[in-house]
Amino acid sequence: MLTRRSKAGEIPVVNDVGDELPARSGRWSVVRVCWSSPVNALGTLLVVVVLIDALFGQVIAPYSPTVPNYNAIFSAPSLQHLFGTDEVGRDIFSRILCGARIALEVAVVVVGIGAGVGTVIGLIAGYFGGWVDEFLMRMTDVFLALPPLVLAIAIAAMLQPSLSHTMLALTVLWWPWYVRLIRGQVLSLREREYIEAARAVGVSPLGVMSRHLLPNTLAPLLVQISLDFGFAILAASSLSFIGLGVQQPSPDWGLMIADAQANIKSVWWAGAFPGFAIIFAVLGFNLFGDVLNDMLDLTHAT
């Protein structure tokens, strides 16, 4: 390595070319994790497809997802309509593509707010302990004691069915799981030497939680978020299926299955393809949780 003289002695000079090689190697290692096994490759591929559909579905869709075509009611899958049409002649392929945006929007809002609220409460409960921990965890236990989907149905039923109310109903039941996860991580970290050292030098509780505890809980937090994306999509589709979620004419996957159930035997494609979309999205995010876990392990190792 090159050096130069200074008042403090010899200081290493970073070789630009050599310095970039480890970084590039690390980035390529992360990419290789995504394709290191058929399972990882499948999870990565499915998540990428869902993201592309959510971002560009309305551009890719060959037909309008909401405008009826009464001349093509219940058309079977063909080159003109790849996945067939529904009860009012709307192209199912186009509705599935555009429905990915609704599914991902629900997942981002529900999991994002749930993870944020749960992380803050978990940090406070785990760090302070005592009566603070007792109060926050008993409040959390109340929500955990209620059946999650039943609670979401009850909240959605009290409100007018809509996308925003679906997200609200799911958010109310999502945060307690993150409280448990983060609190458990904080309890195992708060007595470590570097936490005690931070307290000894006068770092505030907020500083300890934000600078030392939170970064060390990110690995399990990010993996759980990836897994919950799929579960949030499934829960939102369930509410739409029973009529308490997204309403017509929005291209929601659960709503599409609900509309198709009356003719499911004769018009199988109307419910099968939206069902496959839900399966692939949930499967993709679940498998990608393992990919993300491998990436984080590799990052810590390097």
Residue 289: inside a domain: yes
**What pLDDT sits at residue 26?**
52
The answer to whether 28 and 273 are in contact (CB under 8 A) is no
Tokens of 198: 């931070």
Of the candidates 276, 271, 279, which has an alpha carbon nearest to the alpha carbon of residue 85? 271
Contacts of 110 (CB under 8 A, 6+ apart): 167, 170, 171, 174, 232, 235, 236
Q: Does some domain include residue 220?
A: yes
Supply the range of the domain harboring residue 261. 52-62+74-301
Please report the pLDDT score of residue 140 as a whole number. Answer: 92
Domain annotation covers residue 30? no
Query: Which two tokens mark 167?
Result: 């997200």
How does strand 9-12 pair with strand 3-6?
antiparallel
Supply the pLDDT for residue 273: 96
Assess whether the previous peptide bond of 249 is cis (omega < 30° from 0).
yes
Q: Which long-range contacts (CB under 8 A, 24 or more apart) does 182-185 make?
A: 182/118, 182/119, 182/121, 182/122, 182/123, 182/126, 182/217, 182/221, 183/122, 183/123, 183/125, 183/126, 183/133, 183/137, 184/126, 185/122, 185/126, 185/213, 185/216, 185/217, 185/220
Residues in the chain with pLDDT < 50?
Answer: 1-25
The dihedral of CA 69, 73, 77, 80: what is its sign? negative
Taking a C-beta distance cutoff of 8 angstroms, is the pair 166, 238 a contact? Answer: no
Q: Is residue 214 part of a domain?
A: yes
Please check whether residue 81 is in contact with residue 91, taking contact to mean a CB–CB distance below 8 angstroms.
Answer: yes
Residue 238 included in any domain: yes
Long-range contacts from 28-33, C-beta under 8 angstroms, 24+ separation: 29/298, 29/302, 30/295, 30/298, 30/299, 33/291, 33/294, 33/295, 33/298
Contacts of 214 (CB under 8 A, 6+ apart): 119, 123
How many separate domains does the chain show? 1
Assigned domain for 221 exists = yes
Whether 95 maps to a domain, the answer reads yes
Element (H, E) at 204: none
Q: Minimal CA–CA distance to 96: which of 271, 230, 246, 263?
A: 271
What pLDDT was estimated at residue 12? 42
Best CA proximity match to 242, nearest among 105, 111, 167, 149: 149
* Amino acid, single-letter form, for residue 214: L
CATH code of the domain covering residue 98: 1.10.3720.10
**Residue 92 placed within a domain:** yes
Asked if 122 contacts 104 with a C-beta cutoff of 8 angstroms, the reply is no
